[in-house]
């Protein structure tokens, strides 16, 4: 019993340790900062304080001596967050896709995929010197494939998504797991590698269709 409990607890803490980052502006800011050589913390510290330490900023902004101490304190806080940020840890993105009309020769539904210029982004307002938008491109955008299905299954699948007026819901739902690995060619952009893509037929992501 004790051994089983230890194993369960080990798996629990392991799952916490490997949980993916949320794809949001703050985490992208940390990733971009970590990837940037010789990052100028002095240039961004006031913006960070105004946004994320607003009470400190409001209290000390009018006293340049106290404010200078708080600037250094804040720089140390940012540096520690960047130090702890793990670029090997994955990000998870949830995205709606569309499947096209059935290809009878190839027996599949084509999926509107990604291109070399396609990117995801996150935007945040009132961030001062920081970029308001971070873009993430894919180095392996072609990893997303199509949806193979026999003619009989495809016919049933399409009928299950058709309403009484004949409208066909062609929306499908993707869970995309990526690793951000280098800075992009554009300002405030980064490149990532797609680790895997899981496609679901329903919004709750209970019915898996395919994985790439």
Query: What is the residue extent of each domain of the chain?
Result: 21-211
Where does residue 188 fall: left (phi above 0), alpha (psi -120 to 50 degrees), or beta otherwise?
A: left
- Dihedral of CA atoms 62, 64, 70, 71 in degrees, nearest 10, equals 110
Average pLDDT over residues 160-173: 97
Instruction: Kindly report whether the global pTM for this prediction surpasses the value 0.75.
Output: yes
Give pLDDT, residue 118: 97
Give pLDDT, residue 138: 98
Q: Could you tell me which residues come within 8 angstroms of residue 133 by beta carbon, excluding any fewer than 6 positions away? A: 121, 122, 123, 124, 188
For the chain, the first-to-last Cα distance in angstroms comes to 39
Give pLDDT, residue 107: 98
Classify each residue of 166-200 as buried b or exposed e, where b means 16 or more C-beta atoms within 10 Å of its C-beta: eeeeeebbbbbbbbbeebbeeebbbbbebeebebb
CA distances in angstroms from 175 to 4, 92, 119, 154, listed in the order given: 32, 7, 15, 22
pLDDT digits (tens, 9 = 90+) for 31-70: 999 999 999 999 999 999 999 999 999 999 999 999 999 9
Give pLDDT, residue 11: 42
Q: How far apart (Å, rounded) are the C-alpha atoms in residues 190 and 168?
A: 36
- The share of the chain scoring above pLDDT 70, in percent, equals 92
Q: Is the pLDDT of residue 10 over 50?
A: no
Give pLDDT, residue 4: 42
Q: How far apart (Å, rounded) are the C-alpha atoms in residues 108 and 116?
A: 23
Residues in the chain: 212
Residue with the two structure tokens 């955008």? 141
Classify each residue of 143-165 as buried b or exposed e, where b means 16 or more C-beta atoms within 10 Å of its C-beta: bbebbebeeeebeebbeeeeeee
Give pLDDT, residue 176: 98
Confidence of residue 19 (pLDDT cuts 50, 70, 90): confident
Give pLDDT, residue 14: 42
Give pLDDT, residue 18: 61
Give pLDDT, residue 5: 38
Pair of tokens at residue 136: 């993430």
For strands 171-183 and 133-138, give the pairing: unpaired
pLDDT digits (tens, 9 = 90+) for 119-154: 999 999 999 999 999 999 999 999 999 999 999 999
């Amino acid at each position: 019993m004790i051994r089983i409990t230890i194993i369960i607890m080990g798996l629990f803490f392991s799952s916490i340790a490997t949980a993916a980052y949320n794809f949001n502006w703050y985490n992208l800011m940390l990733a971009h900062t970590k990837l940037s050589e010789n990052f100028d913390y002095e240039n961004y510290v006031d913006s960070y304080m105004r946004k994320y330490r607003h009470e400190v900023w409001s209290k000390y902004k009018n006293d340049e001596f106290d404010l200078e101490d708080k600037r250094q304190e804040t720089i140390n806080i940012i540096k520690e967050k960047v130090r702890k940020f793990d670029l090997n840890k994955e990000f998870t993105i949830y995205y709606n896709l569309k499947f096209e009309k059935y290809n009878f020769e190839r027996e599949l539904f084509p999926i509107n995929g990604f291109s070399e210029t396609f990117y995801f982004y996150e935007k945040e307002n009132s961030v001062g010197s920081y970029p308001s938008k971070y873009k993430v491109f894919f180095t392996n955008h072609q990893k997303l494939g199509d949806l193979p299905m026999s003619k009989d299954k495809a016919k049933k699948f399409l009928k299950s998504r058709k309403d009484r007026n004949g409208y066909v819901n062609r929306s499908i739902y993707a869970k995309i797991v990526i690793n951000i690995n280098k800075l992009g060619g554009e300002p405030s952009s980064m490149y990532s590698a797609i680790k895997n893509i899981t496609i679901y037929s329903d919004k709750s992501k209970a019915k898996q269709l395919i994985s790439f």
